[in-house]
Amino acid sequence: MLLFPLPLRLFFFSLFLLNVQIASASPTNLNTNGYRLARGLPPLPPRDFGQRKPGQDPTPVLRARASPSPSSVVRYTGRLQVRSENRSTIGYVQDKSGLPVSTGSDLVVSVTASLTRKEQLNILATPTTTALPSPFYIGASTQSSSENATIGTGVATTLQLTNVTKTDALSKPVKSDNVDALVESAIWTINSSTKELTAQYVNPDGSLPSTFLVYDNADTQLYLVGDTTSLNATFAPVKLFIVD
């Protein structure tokens, strides 16, 4: 004897098939935070963290900042001492027009140099009187803008060491702002141990000639030359130092 009529049995059978289809079409998502927490697992990380969504700003992400590095610049300050090749002191560059070498009113200068790279430097004068007119950078100058500004082996050109307009490192000679002359200022390097200053002049064609500093006993002036063998007897090679 049947417990249910045939139509009712067909109805229950249809419900069973429907439940089977729904279960197969919608599998349980086991990778949810609720399911993971129930099993003692940590929650999932946010999926959109730090990403831009349409119409929204991205979640800010904090990053460690690099600490500033120690200073890599050193400043030398003092007087310009002129020494002969046998190391005896000839005198000091004076705080006067033309920068003669003598004693009395010594010019005070400063040089700022990098500790991490080698580059051509400027010597900046800090005059204590009005005897030295501006500009206050110490470099090489021709007597006039029409004069030959090239030095080198076999060339008798002399460039006066005087106060000049500031120029860029490795610049070719440029027309001075205040006098009719071709000048360069950033021609110097400094030995951090001995504080000796050496010059590297740049010719108008961009070449880098051997550059010598010489002292003229006749007019007590300093000059830059490219060949010491072509000079007269009053000139002598010298060295330049920053001293206290």
Q: What 3-state DSSP class applies to 13?
A: helix
Closest C-alpha to 98, from 156, 148, 164: 164
pLDDT in tens, 168-189: 999 999 999 999 999 999 999 9
Which sequence spans correspond to the domains of the chain?
A: 6-38, 73-243
Among the residues of 72-181, which ranges form H helices? Answer: none
* CB distance 100 to 65 below 8 Å: no
pLDDT in tens, 35-66: 666 666 777 766 655 555 555 555 554 454 44
Q: pTM of the entire structure?
A: 0.70
Rounded-to-integer distance, Cα 129 and Cα 136, Å: 12
* Kind of pairing between the strands at 123-125 and 137-141: antiparallel
Q: What 3-state DSSP class applies to 228?
A: coil
